Chains A and B, each alone.
Chain A
Amino acid sequence: MKLIETDVLVIGAGPAGSSTAKYAAQNGAKVILMDKKSEIGAPKRCAEGVSKEGLKKLGIEPNSRWVTKELSGVRLVSPNGTDVWLNDDQVKLPEAGYILERKVFDKFMAMDAARAGATIMIKTLARGMRKDNNGYIVSCENMGEDFEIKAKIVVGADGPESRVGRWGGLKTVIKPKNMESGIQFEMAGVEMEDPGCIEFYFGSVAPGGYAWIFPKGDDIANVGLGIVNTVTDKSAYQHLLEFVEKCPATQNAQAVELNIGGDPVGGMVKELVEDNVMIVGDAAGHVNPLTGGGIITALEAGKYAGEVAAQAIKEGDCSKKRLKEYEKICKTEIGDSFHKYFKTKEYMLSLSDEELDSIADAFKDYEFEKISTSELVKLLIKVSPKALLKLGKLF
């Protein structure tokens, strides 16, 4: 059987995998980036929101080919329709951002990895792996042909399935209560009150999560929701149909695309490395447990993973001990803040529709100056004694 040798094999070419491949290649490693799909970035499993600051921090210049909409604010809607508007003409929004076109963006990121020197294999599936004295041998399949890749480091960037991590001995299985079932229509004819604002809908409309409308320019928007199946008897799809039927913005809207997928919102996986194995992105729980957002953290973690992997290759030491450096950076830069957001999410989900309405009422008349996710939580603590009790020490 054909055997290909490489330093680093990255499995999965989403933002996490492409970023890992790019930085590993840029720093001198021989890299293969593999994806099972015939088109990188499609179908999307994502509402496509990113923060401007996040992209800037990573040195990624916004490009008109993949930015569909620059956002000017946020609208938060409580169960009885009370809304809180946060617009950037009145409030500083450090996390304001863009809505992407993921199927273009993801390809862009993979192309960057290719330009840095990575070899890309599409429509190629990793089927399993076995330990070799100096790394792993991964069984692969492309268009009916079986072959093997021998890699000193295998990086699992394979999304919430996270099989690579499990093959490598990491505990990446996701508990059902920590797996958000996401579902979304991309729709035309969406009538938003302000098509520059992203909208969030809270309460029983999406048990265990929230519903969203993310504008993509003109009358187009991603309309979706995430639920946790342990707290509802209905499927995510049923909840979405009900939301679209009732929401004023979607009365005349038509779906042109259906997207689904799991979003791991339990926080970062404890161990991200084993001997010759690393995990990154959704596979590693690099998703903000409160918002469910993970594009920026995936790109960021990919950068750290790629840099550490390349360095480990140079030093000829791909042991767990050496790769731990990556885990430590992720913990400081990403994981620690996730702990707070996880607690906040648990608190939010403990609220009844009535409690959410009364919080929205209190927020409504508040004069905001600057709003970020953490500022919002601080305000929540101010207006809700229950929040103070549960979150006061964290923020």
Chain B
Amino acid sequence: MIVNEWCMYCGECAGVCPRALIEVRETSLIFNEEGCKDCGICVSVCPINALDKEE
């Protein structure tokens, strides 16, 4: 997952992740990419489009 520089670490993505793979720290996000099934829900809920899937 690409976390863009303008991410504000609000954690909305973590709340909707069906597999609880996102750790929200004060100024960073850590994705457990191994468990990710690429559902894209985290990307779509972001209020400021700060997440992009890696191609």
Contact = CB atoms under 8 A, between A and B. Distances in A.
Q: Do A and B bind each other?
A: yes
Interface of A: 36-38, 43, 45, 123, 125, 127, 159-163, 166-167, 173-176, 179, 181-183, 229, 235-237, 258, 260-262, 264
Contacts of B10: 45, 260-262
- Is the contact region of chain A dominated by helix, strand, or loop, or is it mixed? mixed
Given A183-B47, A236-B48, A237-B48, A174 B15 contact: yes
A389 to B, nearest CB: 32
B44 A176 contact: yes
Nearest to A123: B26
B46 A160 contact: no
Given A229-B44, A260-B10, A261-B47, 17 more contacts: A36-B25, A125-B25, A125-B26, A127-B23, A160-B11, A160-B12, A160-B14, A161-B15, A173-B15, A173-B16, A175-B16, A235-B49, A236-B47, A260-B48, A261-B11, A262-B45, A264-B15
7 contacts: A38-B26, A125-B26, A160-B14, A173-B20, A183-B47, A236-B48, A258-B8
Contacts of A237: 47-49
By Cβ-Cβ distance, the 7 closest A-B pairs, closest first, are A262-B12, A236-B47, A160-B15, A161-B14, A261-B10, A161-B11, A181-B47
Nearest to B14: A161
Nearest to B7: A260
B44 to A, nearest CB: 5
Interface string B1-31: 0000000101110111110101111100000
Nearest to B19: A173
Contact of B26 (A37, A174, A182): A37
Q: Pick from A38, A160, A176, A182 the residue with the most CB of B within 10 Å.
A: A176
A45 B41 CA distance: 21
A160 B10 CA distance: 9
B15 A162 contact: yes
A173 B47 contact: no
Given A36-B25, A36-B26, A235 B15 contact: no
B12 A181 contact: yes
A174 B20 contact: no
A159 B12 CA distance: 9
A262 B17 CA distance: 12
A182 B24 CA distance: 17
B36 to A, nearest CB: 15
Contacts of B41: 176
A307 B18 CA distance: 32
Given A229-B45, A260-B47, A262-B11, A179 B26 contact: no
